Chain A
Amino acid sequence: MSTQLNIPPMKRAQLVLGNKTLKEITDDICAPVESFPSKGWMALFVSAKTLFLFYILTIAMVVATGMGLLGVNHPVGWGTMIITFVFWVGIGHAGTLISAILFLFRQKWRTSVARSAEAMTVFAVMTAGIFPLIHTGRPWLDFWLFPYPNQRGPLWVNFRSPLLWDVFAISTYATVSTVFWFVGMIPDLATLKDRAQNKIRRTIYGALSLGWRGTAKNWSHYEMVYLILAGLSTPLVISVHTIVSFDFAVSNLPGWHTTIFPPYFVAGAIFSGFAMVITLMTLMRMGWPKFKDYITIDHMEVMNKIIMMTGLMVGYAYGSEFLIAWYSGNIYEQYVFFVSRAFGPYAWSYWIMICCNVVIPQLFWFKKLRRSIPVMFVVSIFVNIGMWFERFVITVTSLHRDFLPSNWGQYAWSMYDTAILVGSFGMFFTIFLLYLRVFPAISIAEIKPVMNVGKDNDSDNHSGSGSDNHNQGGH
């Protein structure tokens, strides 16, 4: 190439605004943990907690009376429980995507949001895990799901069933993501311990920090472990939603029996998870305006781009299902997609899903809308509504009309279905709000090495600057 293009080097966006010093970063991030709750937090917490109590009550009634309180019956044997389970597990996926996959890709912007996204993952998986346990109908026998030597033979679990793969996938995912989240927090807990003003606080954070000291040798091991955990979490997170999709795809039911399900579910999971991250980050920025220097508009914009991209992928999957149904030549497949799902009695849910997941995220093609906090907040809520309906569409519209018209029926949605669905948000938000006040919501030790990224005349004298220069090519 003889012509040298004279383009000025692209400038990276600053990851931390406001020219903070190390001390200021620590102070800013520790502030929510060390100060008295604001009225806004209290209001949110009281409402979330009330909803949570209501949820516990609903679950108690469902367990005490039986699954008959919910709308599941023949032919729609999977209902709210499974729909909402998949919904929450899906939300959980964005956290690991941000904390592990983006870490492997050296996306430095992930640092500001990784901690809270990871927390969201852990709490979403906790919320999700309750549903299949209740769905079994006799939750007090749920330990039968695990293969342990027993006096019934021993009668072992059926390892050929996707439902059992799910038990292993979800429990492994919950364990590993909790461990990953906690290990990432150890140095920050030591920071909180050292800042503690009273003995109780010092003792608690001292115990939680496990005696972390931050010597160079410790950091050397620590960084290696973090990298390994990121490497292990990456295939794990993809496997989990793949296996969740197997719950459906391995069956023979038209509408479920689809090879596109694993990638389609994973894309949908990331889509809904990022929407939830946007919802939560918007609230965090409102609650603690200082966090706006760390979770900047640029961060939000990048996540909105991911929402738009995964939204398109999900839309592509919706489209390709029609193509494959037509191409298969199978009348049952064609009936499900061309008649029952999009134009049948549940067509409203299908079109809500299309509007929320495919149409509304297209707003993010416009930079102005992508960078507008009110717009992204509203869109993120719509995406989550749409993603809940996606699971509703998959579960209910496939079941309600299968091969034999004499076997057709409707889903008898009851008020307990609504209560369980709404109540689960109470559980999630209660735990998340408590987390915000107990643990540092942004990784202090991780944000410090990237604090100078994108600052003027500072590209060479700081840690991590070597890889910054690498990254410039990629943008």
Chain B
Amino acid sequence: MAQKIVTSGIAGIFLDEDKVIAAAYKVRESGFVKFDAITPYPVHGMEEACGIKRSLIPYVTFAAAGFGLLAGLGLVYYTAAIDWPINIGGKPMFSLPAFIPIMFELTILFAALCTVGALFYMCKMPRIDPPVIDKDLTCHKFAIFIPENDIGYNQDRIEKLFKELGAAEVKKVAEY
């Protein structure tokens, strides 16, 4: 899942969603493995085209939720039943039903924050001023970027491939 370090390479820029998906399939078939597709919005079918596996973040969420639940339980148990037990309305010191809201809220809080933390980790965020291939890639253009350290990297071959696939522009990228 780790992303490539800053590297140079070639990017093909496409103007059409369908073309970039077809291109991603083709680039993968041509044997490239480190390429990435850059799109302004999540393009349906791009994960299959690029061969991206299902995100592992749900496991982080589950673990964090479990931890949050136990942390909530630990907090209420320690404070209400051990550290300073106070008789409130004759209820048992450890009155679980009354503690469920606290445990629930902490479960959600931990799960949500850790999920976002995992997203930042996976996407290498926050990142200061990442290199940009084309400013329109967050607006209406799509790109496929092949780094120079990819298997079978050959400038002429890739340029030709992108042209054949209908790229509007083929760009040499100094660093990405």
Residues of A whose CB lies within 8 Å of any CB of B are 21-23, 26, 147, 153-160, 162, 164-165, 168-169, 172, 175-176, 179-180, 183, 187, 190-191, 193-195, 206-207, 210-225, 228-229, 232-233, 235-236, 239, 243, 246, 444-446, 448-449, 461-464, 466
Q: Of the candidates B80, B109, B136, which one forms a contact with A172 in the assembled complex, judged by CB atoms under 8 Å apart?
A: B109
Q: List 11 A-B contacts (CB under 8 A).
A: A22-B139, A159-B99, A172-B105, A211-B130, A216-B24, A217-B36, A219-B39, A225-B116, A229-B112, A448-B40, A463-B45
Please name all residues of chain B whose beta carbon is closer than 8 Å to the beta carbon of A216 when the two chains form the complex.
24, 36-39, 43, 46-47, 49-50, 52
Please name all residues of chain B whose beta carbon is closer than 8 Å to the beta carbon of A223 when the two chains form the complex.
42
**B10 is an interface residue with CB less than 8 A from chain A:** no
Please name all residues of chain B whose beta carbon is closer than 8 Å to the beta carbon of A207 when the two chains form the complex.
126, 128
Interface residues of B in 140-166 (CB under 8 A from A): 140
Complex-state Cα separation, A288 to B129, whole angstroms? 32
Proximity bits, B43-61, A CB within 8 Å = 1, else 0: 1111101101011011001
With A225-B115, A446-B41: A160-B95 Cβ-Cβ less than 8 Å: yes
What distance in Å separates the Cβ of A226 from its nearest Cβ neighbour in chain B?
Answer: 9
With A156-B80, A215-B38: A26-B123 Cβ-Cβ less than 8 Å: no
What distance in Å separates the Cβ of A442 from its nearest Cβ neighbour in chain B?
Answer: 13
**A243 in contact with B140 (CB, 8 Å):** no
Complex-state Cα separation, A22 to B120, whole angstroms? 27
- Chain B: CB-nearest residue to A191: B138
With A222-B123, A228-B58, A228-B61: A215-B105 Cβ-Cβ less than 8 Å: no
What distance in Å separates the Cβ of B80 from its nearest Cβ neighbour in chain A?
Answer: 5
Complex-state Cα separation, A221 to B1, whole angstroms? 10
What distance in Å separates the Cβ of A360 from its nearest Cβ neighbour in chain B?
Answer: 35
Q: Of the candidates B1, B105, B130, B139, which one forms a contact with A217 in the assembled complex, judged by CB atoms under 8 Å apart?
A: B1
Please name all residues of chain A whose beta carbon is closer than 8 Å to the beta carbon of B91 when the two chains form the complex.
160
**A232 in contact with B138 (CB, 8 Å):** no
**B76 is an interface residue with CB less than 8 A from chain A:** yes
Residue among B102, B106, B140 with the highest chain A CB neighbour number at 10 A: B102
What distance in Å separates the Cβ of A153 from its nearest Cβ neighbour in chain B?
Answer: 6
What distance in Å separates the Cβ of B165 from its nearest Cβ neighbour in chain A?
Answer: 16
With A159-B80, A165-B101, A239-B105: A220-B47 Cβ-Cβ less than 8 Å: yes
* Extra A-B contacts (20), CB below 8 Å, given A22-B140, A23-B139: A22-B40, A26-B139, A159-B76, A160-B99, A168-B101, A207-B128, A211-B126, A215-B36, A217-B50, A217-B123, A223-B42, A224-B55, A224-B57, A224-B58, A225-B115, A228-B115, A239-B101, A449-B42, A463-B43, A464-B44
- Chain A: CB-nearest residue to B98: A160
**B84 in contact with A211 (CB, 8 Å):** no
- Chain B: CB-nearest residue to A30: B139
With A160-B89, A222-B119: A214-B104 Cβ-Cβ less than 8 Å: no
Total interface residues on B, CB under 8 Å, equals 69
- Chain A: CB-nearest residue to B49: A216
Please name all residues of chain B whose beta carbon is closer than 8 Å to the beta carbon of A179 when the two chains form the complex.
112-113, 116
Please name all residues of chain B whose beta carbon is closer than 8 Å to the beta carbon of A154 when the two chains form the complex.
83-84
With A216-B37, A448-B40: A211-B127 Cβ-Cβ less than 8 Å: yes
**A225 in contact with B43 (CB, 8 Å):** no
What distance in Å separates the Cβ of B34 from its nearest Cβ neighbour in chain A?
Answer: 11
Q: Of the candidates A212, A232, A444, A448, which one forms a contact with B111 in the assembled complex, judged by CB atoms under 8 Å apart?
A: A232
What distance in Å separates the Cβ of B99 from its nearest Cβ neighbour in chain A?
Answer: 6
Complex-state Cα separation, A473 to B163, whole angstroms? 41
Residue among A23, A168, A464 with the highest chain B CB neighbour number at 10 A: A168
Proximity bits, B78-112, A CB within 8 Å = 1, else 0: 01100110101101000100110110111011011
**B101 in contact with A213 (CB, 8 Å):** no
Q: Of the candidates B102, B108, B119, B135, which one forms a contact with A236 in the assembled complex, judged by CB atoms under 8 Å apart?
A: B108
Please name all residues of chain B whose beta carbon is closer than 8 Å to the beta carbon of A159 when the two chains form the complex.
76, 79-80, 98-99, 102
What distance in Å separates the Cβ of A258 from its nearest Cβ neighbour in chain B?
Answer: 18
**B109 in contact with A176 (CB, 8 Å):** yes
**B70 is an interface residue with CB less than 8 A from chain A:** no
Q: Of the candidates A160, A169, A210, A235, which one forms a contact with B88 in the assembled complex, judged by CB atoms under 8 Å apart?
A: A160
Complex-state Cα separation, A214 to B144, whole angstroms? 11
**B42 in contact with A445 (CB, 8 Å):** yes
What distance in Å separates the Cβ of A11 from its nearest Cβ neighbour in chain B?
Answer: 21
**A26 in contact with B140 (CB, 8 Å):** yes
**A169 in contact with B112 (CB, 8 Å):** no
- Chain B: CB-nearest residue to A215: B36
What distance in Å separates the Cβ of B88 from its nearest Cβ neighbour in chain A?
Answer: 5
What distance in Å separates the Cβ of A194 from its nearest Cβ neighbour in chain B?
Answer: 4
